[in-house]
Amino acid sequence: MSPIVSRGFRGRRDGAPNDRVPPGQYVTRDFPVLSAGPTPHRPLELWDFSIVGEVDEPRRWTWEEFRALPSEEVTVDIHCVTKWSKLDTVWQGVSVDTLLDGVETAAEYVVPFSDGGYTTNLPLEDVTGGKAWVAFAYDGEPLEPEHGGPARMLVPHLYFWKSAKWVRGLRLSAIDEPGFWEVNGYHNYGDPWQEQRYWGD
Amino acid sequence: MNWRVAEVVNVVPETPRVKTVAFDVPGWPGHRAGQHVDVRLTAEDGYQAQRSYSIASVPDGTRVELTVERLEDGEVSPYLTDGLRPGDRIELRGPVGGYFVWEPSQGGPLLLVAGGSGVVPLMAMIRARAVAGSDIDARLLFSSRSWEEVIYRGELERLGGGGLTVVHTLTRSQPPGWAGYARRVDAEMLVEVGPSPSRLPGVYVCGPTPFVEAVAEALVELGHEPHRVRTERFGPTGGE
Amino acid sequence: MDALMLDGNAVAGILQEVFAVEMTTAIGTCNRCGGTDRVGALHVFRGAGIVMRCPHCDNALVTIVEDGTRVWIGFAGVRTLQVTV
C-alpha cells in the first residue's frame, strides 16, 4: 500500500544541489544526535588512543600526546543512513595517515573501537590516503560528548555510522570483522552514493 | 497491524502551545488507556517522518484524539498543531503499548505523575476511570510551567472528587495568591501527595526523560517497588 | 542518564508489526547480568537503528533496523524471552 501524502507536510529540510546529495538523502541544517547507547563521560586524564592488532608495535597516545600531533581542519559533507545529510561541516582532527605513519602491517582491515563497546569495520584503504580522521573539534569548538567527544572517527565518504563516536583506537586486522551495526542489518561497506544501507543492497 | 488512514475531524486548542486533534480512523479496533500510536507523515516527494503520540481519548468508535504540544524546533508537532485542517489525512499505526496501560479492573490505588505533555496518557487513564464510574483512589501530581500551560485544566477541576485528587505544581510562574506547590517534583512532595508505598499503588510517570528519571528515582528511594513504577519517557523535550 | 533515552514502550509499534503480539509486556533476561525486565522497561536508544539496553548493566539486548519492508531484529543480548500469546 502506498503511503498517504499529508497535505502541506514538508518536514525540516533544505534544498541542495543534486550532485552533493546521495540518493535517498535529505539535507538538514540541524545536527541530529543519534546514539546506540548512553553517552560515555570519560575524563581526559583517563583517555588514550591506541593502534593495536596486526601491527609490528602497538602505539598509544595520551590526550596531550594526541593533541600534540599535527591536525588539520577539514570541511566535508556527511551522510547518515537515517536519510539526513549535512553539507559543509567543519571539523578539526588528526588524519589517520598521521596515526598510522610508520606503522608496519599486513592488515587489510581496521576496526575502530569505542567507549561503550561500539565497533565498526572498514577496509584499511578506506581510512588512509586522506580519507579519514580522528576528529576532536566540530564547528570551531571542542567536540561535545553527545556528538562523540572527546574524539570520534570521521570517515565522510561512507555512511556516518562508520564514523564511530567516542573512539579509543583502531584495531588492525587481517580479516574483516563486521561491527555493531554490520552484524545487525546494516551494509558491510556503506557507500552512500550506491545507497548501500542494508544487507543485500 | 499496519498503517491506517486517519482523517482530521477538528483541532481544538488546550493551551497556547498545545492542541487536541480529533481523527476519524475507519476500522479502529479500540484501545486501552495509556496506549499510543505511531504517526507517519509523507511529503509529496516521498520524504517521511514518524513520531509516537499517546492517545488522549477514551475508546469511542472510530474517533481517536491526540493531544500534541508544539515544540519550537519540532519537525512533526508544528504540522499537527498548526498545519492540519478538517479533512486532512495522516497515517497511524496502533494502538500499541501494553506496558504503560491502566484499566479500572486493575484496581488501585493509583499514582499518576505527569510532567507537561506527559499528562496525555495519564489523562486517558483518568478519563477511563471516570467513564467506568470507578471510585478507585487515584492521585494525579501534575507539573506544569505555569497556570496558563496546564493542559486539561478545566476538565481536571470538574473530574476532581469521588476518589480523584489532582495536585498541581507550577515550576516557572504562579498566579497571584497561589498557595500550591511551586517547584519541581521531589521526594517530599511525593510523600505529601501519597499514597504510601505500603498501599502498593500502581504508579505511572510520564514526561520528558529527565523529569521521569528524577521522579522514578525518588519514588524507588521512597520505597515504591521498581516494577510497580511504570515510566514513559518522551525524550529530551517531549517526543522530538 | 541520557536525555535522549526512551523506554521500550516507544518501539511497541514496530515490535507488534514483526511479532503480531504485544511485545512490551514480554519479559527478557539479559545474558550478561541475568536481569529480567519487561521489554517496555528496557532503555531505548536511537542510533543508526534502535538499540534496547538492559536497564541494569547497559548490555545491548535487542537491535532493530528497518528499511520500510524488511526488519532486522537482533537478540544478541537476550538469553530468554518470555512472551504471552
Q: What is the pLDDT of residues B8-44, one digit of tens each?
A: 999 999 999 999 999 999 999 999 999 999 999 999 9
Would you state the cell numbers that stand for residue B172, as one nine-digit string? 516557572
On whether both B179 and B92 belong to a single domain, the answer is no
Q: Which pLDDT score is estimated for C69?
A: 86
CA gap B232, A150 in Å, rounded? 31
Q: Which pLDDT score is estimated for A40?
A: 95
On whether both B170 and B77 belong to a single domain, the answer is no
On whether both B92 and B175 belong to a single domain, the answer is no
Instruction: Establish if A31 touches chain B: CB-CB under 8 angstroms.
Output: no
Question: How far, in Å, are A200, B148, B199 from residue A194 at the CA level?
Answer: 12, 52, 60
Peptide bond into B208 cis (omega under 30): no
Q: Report ipTM (2 d.p.).
A: 0.90
Q: Which domain holds residue B86?
A: 3-96
Instruction: Establish if B52 touches chain C: CB-CB under 8 angstroms.
Output: yes
In this prediction, residues A177-186 reach a mean pLDDT of 97
On whether both B64 and B179 belong to a single domain, the answer is no
Comparing B27 with C4, which gets the higher pLDDT?
B27
Kind and range of the H or E run holding B155: helix B153-159
Would you state the cell numbers that stand for residue B201, as one nine-digit string? 499503588
> Which among C4, C49, C74 has the least Cβ separation from residue A33?
C4
Do the domain assignments include residue B168?
yes
Do the domain assignments include residue B52?
yes
Residue with cell 524507588: B220
Instruction: Place B238 in a pLDDT band, splitting at 50, 70 and 90.
Output: very low
On whether both B135 and B56 belong to a single domain, the answer is no
Most confident of C7-11, C18-22, C72-76: C72-76
CA gap B121, B114 in Å, rounded? 9
Q: What is the pLDDT of residues A41-95, one digit of tens each?
A: 999 999 999 999 999 999 999 999 999 999 999 999 999 999 999 999 999 999 9
Amino acid identity of residue A2, one-letter, is S
CATH of the domain at B33: 2.40.30.10
Do the domain assignments include residue B238?
no
Kind and range of the H or E run holding B209: helix B209-221
Residue with cell 507488534: C16
On whether both B71 and B113 belong to a single domain, the answer is no
On whether both B137 and B198 belong to a single domain, the answer is yes
Do the domain assignments include residue B89?
yes
Those chains having 3 or more beta-carbon pairs within 8 angstroms of chain A are: B, C
Between chains, do C13 and B52 touch, taking CB under 8 Å as contact? yes
On whether both B201 and B116 belong to a single domain, the answer is yes
Between chains, do C20 and B1 touch, taking CB under 8 Å as contact? yes
| B5 Cα to chain A: minimum distance (Å) | 7
Amino acid identity of residue A145, one-letter, is P
Which residue among B42, B77, B96 closes a domain? B96
Kind and range of the H or E run holding B24: strand B18-24
Contact between residue A7 and residue B7 where contact means Cβ atoms under 8 Å apart = no
On whether both B228 and B110 belong to a single domain, the answer is yes
Residues 15-74 of C with CB under 8 A from B: 16-17, 20, 22, 24-25, 38-41
Instruction: Establish if A90 touches chain C: CB-CB under 8 angstroms.
Output: no
- CATH class (in words) of the domain with range A18-28+48-194: alpha beta
Do the domain assignments include residue B142?
yes
CATH of the domain at B147: 3.40.50.80
> What residue ranges do the domains of chain C occupy?
6-82
Q: What is the pLDDT of residues B142-169, one digit of tens each?
A: 999 999 999 999 999 999 999 999 999 9
Backbone angles phi, psi at B62, to 5 degrees: -95, 10
Q: What is the pLDDT of residues B90-102, one digit of tens each?
A: 999 999 988 999 9
Do the domain assignments include residue B213?
yes
Find chain B residues with C-beta within 8 A of C16's C-beta: 1, 96
Between chains, do B98 and C20 touch, taking CB under 8 Å as contact? no
Residue with cell 504517526: B39
Query: What is the count of structural domains for chain B?
Result: 2
In this prediction, residues A146-174 reach a mean pLDDT of 98
